Structure 1
Amino acid sequence: MYKHLLVALDDTPLGMATVTQSVSFARALGARITFFHAAPDLAATGEGSMLHSLDRQAFTAESDMPRHAVLLKAATAARIGGVECSTDALVSDHPAQAILEAAQRHACDLLFVSSHGRVPGLRGWLHSSVTRQLLQIANLPVHVASIESNDEQADANRALAIVAGEHRSIAAVLTGLQQLDRAGRIDGTIPDVALMRQMADYLRQFPTRLHHPKEEAFIFRLLRQRTSEHNAVLDELERQHVLENTLIDALFTTLARHGHGDADAAEAVTAAVQRLSGAVWEHMSLEETVIFPAARRHLTSADWSVVYKAFSAHHDPLFSHSPEMPMRQLFARIATALQ
């Protein structure tokens, strides 16, 4: 059976859905994954060429951000799923060939892809022609996990892919916090408190002020309208949202003590990081294993259209295509911390 999957990703909601499918597939097989992302050459475009001439640092950030975001979230999903993984990326205007060469380079025995199908316009580089080319030129098996244009639950899948992607963003930041704290304890050094504060601020700004309220206003509310079966779980999840705010505040307090040289603060920071991480992992697991499957069963197509419209109207400030410069810097530092 297959032992090493090459999973080709783009930076659309379908890409995050492909991550979820591939992790489940690999876990069932006991296989490992190489996540691969190929992006077109930004410098070959008029806008990219101008940006390269005017500001090379901004050009590098603009060209690297989508690739790093896709792969960091994919690796986080694999880590959560207990699947061994690695990542690879390449700038290429010939994605099908790049995917095949990556599979050969990493000695993969299965290509795992999804297709947008016959969708007008540019909906990411992994469109039907790329999948079709792979099927024509590949010298190893190709598994097409899904074809988006044939999907009767497209809005549901896209909406849940966005939510899952946001969960992976949150998980990546939490993992970064844990690793910074752990590295300090192992090495006997003082962790980067300023970076940890930035990570905590992201958790305060995005999940608590945007992600959680939209979950409650749309997914939770609509599920309550369709059935009362899960009201107790929804009540608990809403309590957990409030608890997470409290735990983030507690982390800020302990980080402030640590930053002011409090000798006893290091253990308090570790405890605060672990309490927050444990609470958020438990919360996301409850949503993904109980509430999201229930929403799939009970919400109507019209409901999912509303949910998808709501969640696609905002962008994760850390992992979006064009985050503000402080978020770019934070993203780069998190990626470094997780290497």
Structure 2
Amino acid sequence: MFNKILVPLDGSSLAESVLPHLIFWTHLTGAKMILLHVLEHSTGAGQVQSIDPIDWQFRQFEAEAYLKDVYRRLREAGLTGSIDQVLVEGRAPDRIMEYAQEHAVDLIVLSSHGHGGLSGWNISSVVQKVVTRAWTSLLLVRAYQPEHQNWQAFQYRRILTLLDGSQRAESVLPLLYRLSQKPEIELMLVHVVVRSDIPSRVPLTPAEHDLIDNLVERNCTEMTKYFEQLKARFSNNVQTRVLINENVATALHQLVEDEMTDLVLLSAHGYSGETKQPYGNISTNFISHSTSPLLIVQDLSHQEIEPSLAERLAHQNDNERRTMIYNDKDETLETLS
């Protein structure tokens, strides 16, 4: 369950599309909310431009006033829990990621687009960078979906979650149990049995087709039993689906569309348990291609996720740069003395 929810806001109405969702999850979990605004330096031709101190101070006042206004509107919408307002400076993706890691944030709530406006890309470049390195649970709201005017009345009607029988995928179960206590929400547990052909340069024999059919049938039977066991732990507003398809993501996207799903709930990783990326193949696919709000529960700790080569080299360069700065200061002090 979530204890700290980080909400990056850039001052745009698109970024604020997350606020109704935020109120729902804060009420459900009782988590502390952190409103974060990153004050970025203007750049030009790839370099940071000189800063006018008066203009910079004015921008700080504006940012502080904006956070206070969001705080006021959340209180007026009935939010009674703890709400912090944080203003930091720097590049937005870096500051968001650093704050989340340094303050043990459980969930980052992001709008797919912000002050840069809507584009043909399903998520903005800032969101893409945060998703790649945040290593936390993630709630991604699609800014191009219709806006919810009444924050207090916002409610999910149908939530779809994928389960593959693995312990990692079951990291969503505590949330599912809490959601199942709300009778107005319909939960749908889904598993996709992959029907794979045997690689062959010649047509398969009848015996080989039977082997594939028997394996698919066995997997369907086992997952049906598994779902029946899970349903016994929840209330009556839980449905189950066992699908057969050659592609898991394709089957899920189609089901989300057919069922008019309000939210897709996924574990970051599933049966494969791959730890080289913060999110597995299915989660990454839904980040990039889904049009529904998406909640990904991170099943790995920060320490379990392997940093990429780019991250390791960047960290090494930062350390070398700091060492050079310290050495230069020491040499300067020695010269002055």
Query: How high is the TM-score relative to the length of structure 2?
Result: 0.38
Bigger helix share = 1
Bigger strand share = 2
Query: How high is the TM-score relative to the length of structure 1?
Result: 0.37
